[in-house]
């Protein structure tokens, strides 16, 4: 059976690592967040006020195209980062920080709503969680120049917005994965557990638990 899955979560939560491994293990098509070839991301982290609106518009077009193509593909597919996070998390954060005005946010949101109204719904959203201090260490460890300006306070703001978003999310089933407890990068057993839980959730099992170890 064909499945269309989205991976969501804060910066440094492990979205790309999980998407890569699921694509390899399950033979699913993959798509990733535009980082290296993003014309605005580096400028955004240096001067959020000047580039926040430009970045959001770029991501809207980029992710809508990804979403549409993979949702309509012949096989199962998984995307690193969902289009819904653009409006519910990052654009809202920009408005709260004052880097996007309320006027610009409402303009962006109007276009966003028109775009997503016509996109196919995903079959599953995988939500990756990790404490902010863990996210900070991961971001530092990967050493991306453009991410040097990310602060713990910004990550906490995003965490709070994720909590609010998840509380009202009803587009599809959600599988929440604690990535600080599960090391699916270095421990094959942990990846097997994640894959098993994904299959359970896609099969309609509501209560999906992860072991403490």
- Residues annotated as catalytic (active site), given as ranges: 80
Distance CA 5, CA 19 (A): 10
CA count, 13 A, side-chain hemisphere, 150: 23
Tokens of 13: 């939560």
Beta strand extents in the chain (DSSP E only): 4-9, 29-31, 77-80, 124-129, 174-178
Closest Cα partner for 41 from 56, 20, 62? 56
Report residue 188 as tokens: 């094959």
């Amino acid at each position: 059976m064909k499945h269309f899955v989205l991976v969501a979560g804060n910066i440094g939560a492990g979205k790309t690592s999980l998407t890569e491994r699921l694509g390899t293990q399950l033979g699913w098509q993959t798509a990733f967040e535009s980082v290296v070839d993003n014309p605005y991301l580096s400028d955004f982290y240096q001067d959020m006020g000047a580039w926040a609106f430009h970045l959001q518009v770029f991501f809207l077009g980029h992710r809508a195209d990804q979403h549409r193509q993979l949702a309509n593909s012949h096989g199962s597919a998984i995307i690193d980062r969902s289009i819904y996070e653009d409006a519910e998390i990052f654009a809202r954060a920009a408005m709260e920080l004052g880097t996007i005005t309320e006027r610009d946010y409402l303009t962006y949101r109007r276009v966003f709503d028109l775009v997503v109204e016509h996109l196919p719904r995903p079959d599953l959203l995988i939500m990756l969680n990790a404490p902010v201090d863990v996210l900070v260490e991961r971001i530092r460890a990967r050493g991306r120049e453009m991410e040097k300006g990310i602060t713990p306070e910004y990550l906490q703001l995003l965490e709070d917005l994720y909590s609010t978003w998840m509380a009202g999310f009803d587009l599809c089933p959600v599988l929440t994965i604690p990535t600080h407890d599960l090391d699916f990068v270095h421990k094959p057993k942990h990846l097997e557990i994640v894959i098993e839980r994904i299959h359970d959730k896609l099969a309609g099992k509501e209560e999906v638990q992860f072991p403490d170890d």
